[in-house]
Amino acid sequence: MKRSGLIIILTLLMITFSFSRAAQAATELEYYEQGVDLFNQGNYEEALHNFEAAGTINPHESVYFDWQGSCLYHMVALDEALLAFDKALALEPYYTTFEYKGVCLAALGRPEEALEAFNESIALYPYQNNYFWKAAILLDLQRFDQAAGTYLSVVALNDTDNEAKALAYNNASYLLYLNQNYTEAMEAVENGLALEPDKSNLYKNKGLILEAQGNYHEALENYNEALEIDPNNQAALTAQRNLIARLNGEEPDSTGMVEWEEIKLYVPLDKVWTITFNRPVDLESAQNNIYIADEENKHLSLKIEAGNDANEITVSLSDGQSYAAAQRYTLFVPANVKSVNGVKMINGVKMDFFTK
């Protein structure tokens, strides 16, 4: 009888232990699912608490630290987010985690490390998002040829859709145009148009290439085509107006601004901007025309200096000044900026950025 009782007691203990493990697993999953729901609702702080609880129960599951990093990123706790992503990667080197780490490093103003993270992600699983991110980092580093090559790598991927391929050709063609690689730029444009014949920016880029080669009337036809597809294409409109002015012997409109598509986020308060032109720039014209304005359109005092080569300048705030935290500013590069040979820009450019 005693032996029988012992067996029953042991069995009950085993059942209790099993139920305890099941309850723990359910709690872990519950925290995780609640965290995902809260994250999708934009409640990042509460979501973070749930992912931390799940990670405490099971510290060997990388996905919990991955989600913690995403929450912290959205909470603009970038250093903490980076630590969470590194914890996740130590458990499992997953391609999306490297991608998130790269985004975080880019926001922290560490582009070289971000580039390394995106390369790690691509090595694990090459897909279009990572190439676009990598190209954006290369643009930030002013490596236009490499950025163009990265965009062109997108079209070789098996799972890339035609829309993404056309966008890659569009971006590559513009960068190749900036670097005066007109033959390759035109090839990229034509490849893009073969995929998406109604993409306005491709016609705009084709016009820019033709204009740079002196084919003004063909360039004008392409600007017109771009505007017929998208009447709100400001870059095409400005290029069209400036070319018409040139053909009529008039001064191009220097007030027209093309808005840079990518808004820069988490910019350091002591940021030094590097601007690269497609030909040697006249420093005095840059100093007299380039400006940065705050949200009230108040112009900041700048220091504009020559860069590492004749095509490059740097733009920073005057000595002893810094940007205000968590504020929006706009960098303006008007078309009055000219090359050392007196050639003005086809379009002015403006770019919004937000400080940390």
| pLDDT tens profile 8-22 | 333 333 334 444 444
Residues 117 and 133: beta-carbon distance below 8 Å = no
SS3 of the chain: the string is CHHHHHHHHHHHHHHHHHHHHHHHHHHHHHHHHHHHHHHHCCCHHHHHHHHHHHHHHCCCCHHHHHHHHHHHHHCCCHHHHHHHHHHHHHHCCCHHHHHHHHHHHHHCCCHHHHHHHHHHHHHHCCCHHHHHHHHHHHHHCCCHHHHHHHHHHHCCCCCCCHHHHHHHHHHHHHHHHHCCCHHHHHHHHHHHHHHCCCCHHHHHHHHHHHHHCCCHHHHHHHHHHHHHHCCCCHHHHHHHHHHHHHHCCCCCCCCCEEECCCCEEEECCCCCEEEECCCCECHHHHHHHCEEEECCCCECCEEEEECCCCCEEEEEECCCCCCCCCCEEEEEECCCCEECCCCECCCEEEEEEEEC
So where are the chain's domains?
A: 2-142, 149-255, 258-355
Structural contact between residues 11 and 19, judged by C-beta atoms closer than 8 angstroms: no
Cα 302 to Cα 296: distance, rounded to the nearest angstrom:
17
For 8, 286, 316, 344, the CA distances from 333, given in Å and listed in that order, are 83, 8, 14, 11
> For residue 33, what are the CA distances in angstroms to 52, 61, 67, 87?
12, 14, 11, 20
**Residue 355 or residue 46, greater confidence:** 46
* Shared fold status for 2-142 and 258-355: no
* Cα end-to-end distance, the chain, whole Å: 74
Question: Does the pLDDT value for residue 266 go beyond 80?
Answer: no
Question: How confident is the model over 206-238, as pLDDT tens digits?
Answer: 999 999 999 999 999 999 999 999 988 878 888
pLDDT at 23: 47
Pick the CATH number of 2-142 from 1.25.40.10, 3.30.70.2170, 3.30.200.20, 3.40.640.10: 1.25.40.10
Q: How confident is the model at residue 253 (pLDDT cuts 50, 70, 90)?
A: low
> Alpha carbon of 195 to those of 169, 175, 189, 218, 322: distances in Å?
10, 19, 10, 21, 46
Q: Residue 53 CB: number of other CB atoms within 10 A?
A: 17
Per-residue model confidence (pLDDT) at position 251: 66
Q: Which CATH number fits domain 258-355: 3.50.50.60, 2.60.40.1220, 2.60.40.10, 3.30.1020.10?
A: 2.60.40.1220
Over the stretch 323-342, which tens digit does the pLDDT of each residue have?
Answer: 987 788 889 888 788 888 88
Reported as a pLDDT band with limits 50, 70 and 90, residue 37 is: very high
Q: Is the pLDDT of residue 356 over 80?
A: no
CATH code for 149-255?
1.25.40.10
Q: What is the pLDDT of residue 346?
A: 61
Task: Yes or no: say if 32 and 50 are a contact pair by the CB < 8 Å rule.
Answer: yes
pLDDT at residue 308 is higher than 90: no
